[in-house]
Structure formats: structure tokens, C-alpha cells
Amino acid sequence: MDTKELLKKVRKIEIKTRRLSDHLFGGEYHSTFKGRGMTFSEVRQYQFGDDVRSIDWNVTARYNEPYVKVFEEERELTMMLLVDVSGSELFGTTNQFKKEVVTEISATLAFSALQNNDKVGLILFSDAIELFIPPKKGKSHILRIIRELLEFEPKSQKTNITEALKFLTNVMKKRAIVFVLSDFIAEDYSDTLRIVGNKHDVTGIRVYDEKEEYIPNLGVIQVRDAETGKQLLVNTSSKEVRRNYWKYHQERVDYFNDAFTKSGNGIISCRVDQSYVKKLLGYFKRRG
């Protein structure tokens, strides 16, 4: 992808996702993810309707008229985006690949954080850590994250969610808002997730394609594993083959749901051909 084409794609995603974050998610994000508490801001004259418990009696006595203490939310939150860049993300049977939907969701979340003056960091992972961008504030930083999501080419095609979670624990010493974006065609990450969830506010966003749920009856076809490169012939006309495939897929979905919910973390499932906007809004409103 040349520079001109990349900048065009970045701008297109910025326009779409920033509009969403400005008009839909900014307020929902703020109410969902609270700051660390209230910090003193100023003292001002008492106004009708003010809580009498906020009266500053020392200042009131000094000026012989009521004054109240004003507090504001102390935010300074940090959002970390853990994004799966393994080979299975380059799959899609409708208008978009899973990777493209993951990029849009990530950009929307990042601009929502930007609107609330929060820091945003990025971890791209396969079965290893492919890229780490430390958390920072600012529009130029968000645009860099979007550029990496669009053009980064991983060294490995495989997936290891546990490694990404362990890396997060090592680099993030303070509590963070964490979104893990993947198709979660993986397992054996529940124990690490439980440890991470005790320290951070974690949400898993599963992005999947409709055709990953079942195999249609197409006769004998050649299929290729996007992560291992292995090719094999599959007889899709066999009911047992289709049933076993559905069972395997459902086991991964159930594992994802159980791993996140039992460790007290949030979950969102977004199908590529459906609106992720409704999914995110519904999630924020339930938590807000």
C-alpha cells in the first residue's frame, strides 16, 4: 500500500469513526468508564439548589455569605487495545474482512477516549507480540494507531491470546481499560485472563464471519488453514463433517463466553455483516 492510498484510507476511517465517537460513543464511554474519584476544583458562591453538604464553612465565615466547594471528576484513564493480527483475521465472505471491522471498532473506541482526554495504547499480537505502542494522548497519536492497524504485516500467522495478556500485565502497572479484539479461535487463555481481570477493566470483542459458524454443503472442497497454511480436502456433503465443524466452532464460542464472564469481564460479539455500532452502544448503556 503506497503512502497516498494509506493516507486516504486513514482519512476515511477517521471521518466515519470520529463521527460515531463524537455523536454516539463519547458520552456513553464517559459514563461507562468512570475516573478514579473526585478532586477539588474551586470555591464559589452558594447558588439555589446546591447541596448544603458542600458548603465550605471556613470561607463562608470569612466572607459572611455561603460558599461551596466544587469538585470535578479526576479521569486520567488509559485505554489499551489488544488487537489480534493473526492470519484468521484476513477472512470475510461479505463486504469486509474481520480485520477491517476490528480496525473500525478500534478507531471508534480510540476517538471516544480522545474525546474524554484519555490515553490510548496499542498491542498487536499473533502468537507473539508484533507491535507495542505505549499509551499517549492526542489526535496524531490516534492516527498513528489507525495507520498501524491498516498496514501492519505480522511476522506470524498464528494466535496466542495468553502471550498478549501476559505482556499487558508486564507493561501496564496501573489499572487500564482493556479491549481485546479477536475472533477468539483459540483456547487456554482463561487462567491468564482471570489474573488480568483482577487488575484491569477488560472487555473481549469477538469479531466473526457468518460462514465460520457452519460449513455449507458444497461437496468436496479444498480448504486452507489461514494460520498454519495447511491445505486439505473436505467432504462438506457429509452431515458428520458439518456437525463436527459446528461443534468445534461452538466450543470456541462457549469458551470465550465462559472465560470472560466467569472472570468478571465484559463480552461483545460482532458479526462482520451486522452493525457493530448497536453492539457497542448496547454494551455501554448496560454498563453505564
* Closest of 79, 86, 84, 54 to residue 69, by C-alpha: 54
Most trustworthy range by pLDDT among 26-40, 68-82, 181-195: 181-195
- Which tens digit of pLDDT belongs to each residue from 209-266? 888 877 777 887 777 766 677 787 887 788 888 888 888 889 999 999 999 999 999 9
What is the residue extent of each domain of the chain? 3-32+76-287, 37-74
* Closest of 151, 150, 139 to residue 18, by C-alpha: 139
121: which strand partners? 80
* Closest of 286, 17, 278 to residue 146, by C-alpha: 17
Q: pTM for the complete prediction? A: 0.80
Give me the pLDDT at residue 36, please.
54
Whether domain 3-32+76-287 has CATH 3.40.1450.10: the reply is no
Give me the pLDDT at residue 27, please.
65
To the nearest 10°, report the CA torsion of 144, 2, 86, 266: 30
Which of the four pLDDT bands, split at 50, 70 and 90, describes residue 42? confident
Give me the pLDDT at residue 143, please.
93
**What is the mean pLDDT of the segment spanning 89-112?**
84
- Which tens digit of pLDDT belongs to each residue from 187-210? 899 999 999 999 999 999 999 988
- Which tens digit of pLDDT belongs to each residue from 117-145? 899 999 999 999 999 999 999 999 999 99
> Is the pLDDT at 51 greater than 80, yes or no?
yes
Give me the pLDDT at residue 219, please.
80
Give me the pLDDT at residue 248, please.
86
To the nearest whole percent, how much of the chain has pLDDT over 70? 86
Sign of CA dihedral 155, 203, 198, 132: positive
Give me the pLDDT at residue 287, please.
82
Give me the pLDDT at residue 71, please.
67
Q: Residues 220, 283: contact at Cβ < 8 Å? A: no
Give me the pLDDT at residue 146, please.
93
Separation in Å, CA 73 to CA 39, 70, 259: 6, 10, 32
82: which strand partners? 123, 180
Give me the pLDDT at residue 155, please.
93
Give me the pLDDT at residue 3, please.
67
In angstroms, rounded to a whole number, what is the distance separating the alpha carbons of residues 68 and 36?
22
In angstroms, rounded to a whole number, what is the distance separating the alpha carbons of residues 78 and 200?
10
Give me the pLDDT at residue 17, please.
77
Q: Residues 204, 66: contact at Cβ < 8 Å? A: no
> What mean pLDDT value characterizes the chain?
86
**How many Cα atoms occupy the beta-carbon half-sphere of 14 within 13 Å?**
16
Separation in Å, CA 17 to CA 9, 168, 209: 12, 25, 21
